[in-house]
C-alpha cells in the first residue's frame, strides 16, 4: 500500500516521466503489471504512481492521467499541508516519539539495565552504557520491534475474524521497515507490515491488515476489492487519511 499491495510487477519504468496539464507538469512513475485496468495512486511523499497493463499504449496512459489531473493535483495539495516532514530524530531528552498514535517525550537516564517504560507522557529510557543518542535509538527501536510483534499479531487475529469463514488460509505475519508501503501480501501468503505502523493508532493498524487480507480474495484494486474493503471497514478512507496524517513521512 502506499502503502498498497501492487500486482506482480513485470517492468518498472527506469525514471519518472512528465505529462503536461495546462501550465502544470505532473511527474509520474510507470509500472507495467499483469492487470487489465489502469490505476493511478498519489503517495504521501507526493510520488504519482501509475500501474498499467503490460501492453498499454503510452499515449493512452497519458490521456488517462490528464483526465485525472485535477484529482491528482488535489491529492498533491492535500499532502503538501503535512510538509515539511517530521525532521530526523535526534534521540535526545525532550524529543517527541510516537507509539500507537500518541506522542511521548524522551527521558534518558543511566542505570543498571536497559529498559523502556511509558509513564505520564514520557518514554523513560534507562541505559546501562552512556545515554548517548545512538544507544537510545538502538534501545527504542528494539522496544518498537517487540511491541510491533505483539500488537500486529493481535491485530491480525482481530481482523481475521471477518475472513475466517471464507475458506482461505490465514497468512503468516512478517515485520520489516519499508520505504513506500504500510503492508504487502506475497504470493506465498505472507503478510508483511511496516514496523513504523507501531507508531499509528490501533484502528490504522487494523485498516492496513484488513486491506492486505482483502487481497487474499481480490488481487488488484478493482471495484470488487473496494466493495469488500468497505463492507469490512465502513468509512475506511477516513482511517487511511488519519494514518497518513499521523505518520506522513512513510
190: part of which helix (H) or strand (E)? Answer: strand 190-194
DSSP string, 105-160: EEEEEE-SS-EEEEETTEEEEEESS---HHHHHHHHHHHHHHHHHHHHHHHHHHHH
User: Averaged in consecutive runs of 10 residues, what is the pLDDT profile of the chain (250 residues)?
Assistant: 44 69 89 87 84 90 92 83 61 92 92 91 90 91 97 97 91 90 89 95 96 93 93 92 73
3-state secondary structure of 54: coil
Give Cα 102 to chain centroid, integer Å. Answer: 18
Write phi, then psi, for 88 (nearest 5 degrees): -55, 140
Of 240, 74, 174, 39, residue with least CA distance to 248:
240
Strands 24-33 and 48-53, sheet pairing: parallel
* The pLDDT value given to residue 8: 46
3-state secondary structure of 184: strand
* The pLDDT value given to residue 32: 87
3-state secondary structure of 87: coil
Tally Cβ neighbours within 10 Å of residue 219. 17
Cis peptide before 84 (omega within 30 of 0): yes
HSE of 202, CA atoms in CB hemisphere, 13 A? 10
Please, what are the domains in the chain? 9-80 (no CATH), 96-246 (3.30.2010.10)
* The pLDDT value given to residue 86: 55
- The CA distance from 32 to 7, in Å, is 9
Amino acid at each position: 500500500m502506499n502503502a498498497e499491495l501492487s500486482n506482480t510487477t513485470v517492468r518498472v519504468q527506469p525514471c519518472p516521466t512528465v505529462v503536461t496539464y495546462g501550465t502544470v507538469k505532473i511527474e509520474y512513475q510507470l509500472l507495467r503489471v499483469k492487470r487489465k485496468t489502469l490505476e493511478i495512486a498519489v503517495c504521501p511523499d507526493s510520488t504519482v504512481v501509475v500501474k498499467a497493463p503490460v501492453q498499454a499504449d503510452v499515449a493512452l496512459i497519458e490521456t488517462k492521467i490528464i483526465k485525472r489531473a485535477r484529482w491528482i493535483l488535489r491529492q498533491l495539495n492535500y499532502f503538501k499541508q503535512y510538509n515539511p516532514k517530521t525532521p530526523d530524530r535526534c534521540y535526545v531528552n525532550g524529543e517527541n516519539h510516537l507509539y500507537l498514535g500518541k506522542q511521548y517525550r524522551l527521558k534518558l537516564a543511566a542505570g543498571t539495565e536497559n529498559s523502556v517504560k511509558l509513564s505520564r507522557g514520557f518514554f523513560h529510557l534507562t541505559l546501562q552504557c552512556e545515554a548517548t543518542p545512538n544507544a537510545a535509538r538502538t534501545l527504542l527501536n528494539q522496544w518498537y520491534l517487540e511491541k510491533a510483534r505483539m500488537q500486529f499479531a493481535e491485530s491480525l487475529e482481530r481482523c481475521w475474524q471477518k475472513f475466517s469463514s471464507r475458506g482461505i488460509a490465514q497468512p503468516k505475519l512478517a515485520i520489516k521497515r519499508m520505504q513506500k508501503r504500510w503492508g504487502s501480501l506475497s504470493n506465498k501468503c505472507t503478510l508483511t507490515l511496516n514496523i513504523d505502523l507501531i507508531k499509528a493508532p490501533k484502528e490504522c493498524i487494523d485498516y492496513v491488515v484488513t486491506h492486505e487480507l482483502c487481497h487474499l480474495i481480490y488481487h488488484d484494486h478493482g471495484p470488487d476489492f473496494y466493495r469488500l474493503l468497505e463492507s469490512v471497514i465502513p468509512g475506511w478512507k477516513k482511517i487511511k487519511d488519519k494514518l497518513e496524517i499521523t505518520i506522513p513521512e512513510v
